[in-house]
Amino acid sequence: MSGMFCFQCEQAAGGTGCSGSGHGTCGKSAEASRLQDLLLRLAERLARQMVDRSSSSESFDRMILNALLATMTNVDFDPDHLEALCRRMGSACSRPLPASREDLLEMAERCGVESERQNTGCEMANRLSFLLFAIKGAAAYYHHAVELGYCDPEISRYFRHALAYLVHPDLKPSEMINLSLECGRNTLKILALLDKARNEVFGSPEPTEVAVTPTAGKAILVTGHDLRLLREVLIATEGTGINVYTHGELLPAHSYPKLRAFPHLVGNYGGSWHEQQTEFAAFPGPVLVTTNCMMPPRDEYHERLFTAGAVRYPDVSHLEAGEYGALACVASSEPGFPLTVTPPRKILVGFGHHALEAILPRIVELMRDGQIRRLFLIGGCDGAKTVRDYYTTLAEIIPQDCLILTLACGKFRFNRQEFGTIDGIPRLLDLGQCSDAHTAIVAIRRLAELMHTDVNSLPLSIILSWYEQKAVSILLALFSLGVRNIRLGPGMPAFFSEDMKALLAQGYRLRPITTPEADLAEALSNSPL
C-alpha cells in the first residue's frame, strides 16, 4: 500500500494534505483512510445505479447516509469496521470485492484524490472534493434528523443524485458554483428539518444557566452532538445517583426542557473537542463519544472510553442501543468528583430561534436608539491551532455597544468571559450547536424584515471559523441565501481550487480573516468594500 492522501479538514498537513503510510494529523491510519476512499466510491456507484434505474430504497439510502458520515473527519478510525461497511456496500451495488484486506487496500488505492487528480487534473479533482465534502457535511446533519425519526424523501433523492453525478462529472467552475448552491439549498432544508425534529422531541430551547463547575459524586461524561444518545444515557442511568455531564457541542442540550428535566444532568465539563485528551484524562468517570470530534485516546482513560453511533476506534468499547447502563457500572468504580469549596459558576445558553425572535424587536429598537451599534456573528468550528486565538481577541475587543451572536464549538474560545448586558439583553447570545445554524439564519432574515432591508445591508458582520465538512455545507447554505462579505478562518481550505477561490471572492466577497483589530475596524467603519 503506497499510503494515504486526505485534505478534507483544516488540519491538512502543510496546508495541502496528509499523506504517507503512517497516520494523518487527526490520527487516522493510512489503512482507514484508503478504506474510506473505497467506501465513498462504492456509495457513489450505488447512487448511480439507483438514479439510472429511477429506483429508491430506504435501506440503500440509509446505507449511503451512513457511509458519508463514517468518512467524515474524526468519526470512524476502525479499519475492521470500515472494511465491513465496504463489503456491505459492495454487495448492495453488485461490485465484487477481493477477499483479503491486502487486495482490498490495493483496490482502494485507485479510489482516492491522487488517482482522481491523475485522471481529471488537479483543479477538477479539487472541485469534486469540494462538492463531496459539502455533501458529507449536509449528510451529517440529516443523519441526526433521521435518527429522531424525521425523514424527507426529497432530501434522500438529492443525496442520490449528487453522488451519482460525481461518478461521471464534467465540471466547469461556473457549473461547480451552481451544484454547490444546490447543496446549500438542501442544507437549509435539512437544518430546518433537524430544528423541527429537536423542538418537537425535546422541546424548544430556552435561555438556561448551565453549571460549569462539578458537583460532588460519581460522574459520566457525554461528548459529541447527539441529543438522542444523550437522552438514552440519561434514561439508562436514571435513579442510579450518578451525575451526567455534557462536553463540547452537547453544551446546548441543557436548554431543551425535556432533557433538562432529568435531575442528574448536572452541568457541562471542559471546553472544546480538541482539548479532550487532557480533559478526559482528568475526568473521574467514563466518557462516551457520540459523533464526530473523536481523537486518539490516551492510555490514562482508554479503558473508560466508549463510543456510540457512527463513531468507532480500534480497541475502544462500542455501545449499542440498550447497553448504556454499562456506563453506570464503570462510573461506580471510578472516584467521581469530591466535595469542594469552589464557588459554583454558570454560563448562559439556549437562545434558540423562538427565544431569539422574542427579543429581536427590542434589539431593533435599541439599534434605532443608538444603544446597539452593530451585531457580530462569530461562529463555526474550533481547532488546536494557536492562530484561532484571533476569535478570542476579536470577541474581547468588540465594543460594549455591540452584541455577539455565537454558535458551534468555536464559542469555547470566549464563552466563559463576562460580556455584560445592554438594557437587560446579554451581549453574548449563544444560539447552540453548529447544527443550530437554522436559528442564526432565521434570526438574520427576521432582523432584515424588522429593519426593512436586505440581509447584506444589516449592521451585521459574519466571521466564521471552519474545521471540517459540516462547516463547508453551512457556508454554502449562506451563499444560497445570497449572503456576502463573510470572513473565514483560520485559513482557506486546501481543497479550494484557485478558480473556486476567485469565483467565491468575486461573487460572494468571501475573504480570509486578517487581524482582529483590522477586521473590527473595517466592520465598525461600515465602509463599502
User: Of the candidates 221, 260, 270, which has an alpha carbon nearest to the alpha carbon of residue 243?
Assistant: 221
Residue 527 pLDDT greater than 50, yes or no: no
Question: What is the rounded average pLDDT for all residues in the chain?
Answer: 94
- For the record, the C-alpha cell of 179 comes out as 451544484
Percent of the chain with pLDDT over 90: 88
N-terminal to C-terminal alpha carbon distance within the chain:
50
User: Tell me: the pLDDT tens digits for 192-251?
Assistant: 999 999 999 999 999 999 999 999 999 999 999 999 999 999 999 999 999 999 999 999
Phi, psi at 489, each rounded to 5°: -145, 180
Rounded to whole angstroms, the Cα distance separating 490 from 386 reads: 9
Say what the pLDDT of residue 2 is.
62
Amino acid identity, position 252: P
151 annotated among ligand-binding-site residues: no
86 annotated among ligand-binding-site residues: no
**The CATH number of domain 27-201, selected from 1.10.357, 1.20.1250, 1.10.540, 1.20.1270:** 1.20.1270
User: Tell me: the pLDDT tens digits for 259-318?
Assistant: 999 999 999 999 999 999 999 999 999 999 999 899 999 999 999 999 999 999 999 999
User: Of the candidates 425, 380, 381, which has an alpha carbon nearest to the alpha carbon of residue 403?
Assistant: 425
CATH 3.40.630.40 fits 208-333, yes or no: no
18 annotated among ligand-binding-site residues: yes
200 annotated among ligand-binding-site residues: no
* CATH level 2 (architecture), domain 351-525: 3-Layer(aba) Sandwich (3.40)
9 annotated among ligand-binding-site residues: yes
329 annotated among ligand-binding-site residues: no
Scanning the structure block, which residue is given the C-alpha cell 458582520?
A: 461
User: Of the candidates 349, 353, 375, 354, which has an alpha carbon nearest to the alpha carbon of residue 363?
Assistant: 375
Do 351-525 and 208-333 have the same topology in CATH?
Answer: yes
Which one has a higher pLDDT value, 371 or 56? 371
Whole-model pTM: value is: 0.96
**What b/e sequence results for 243-279 when a residue is b if at least 16 CB atoms lie within 10 Å of its CB, and e otherwise?**
bbbbbbbbbbbbbbeebbebebbbbbbbbbbbbbeeb
Domain ranges within the chain, ordered by starting residue: 27-201, 208-333, 351-525
Torsion-angle region of residue 458: left (phi > 0), alpha (psi -120 to 50) or beta?
Answer: beta
**What does DSSP assign to residue 191?**
H
Say what the pLDDT of residue 341 is.
66
434 annotated among ligand-binding-site residues: yes
409 annotated among ligand-binding-site residues: yes
- For the record, the C-alpha cell of 272 comes out as 472544546
> Torsion angle of alpha carbons 48, 54, 59, 64, nearest 10°?
20
26 annotated among ligand-binding-site residues: yes
Rounded to whole angstroms, the Cα distance separating 404 from 427 reads: 6
Torsion-angle region of residue 449: left (phi > 0), alpha (psi -120 to 50) or beta?
Answer: alpha
Say what the pLDDT of residue 122 is.
84
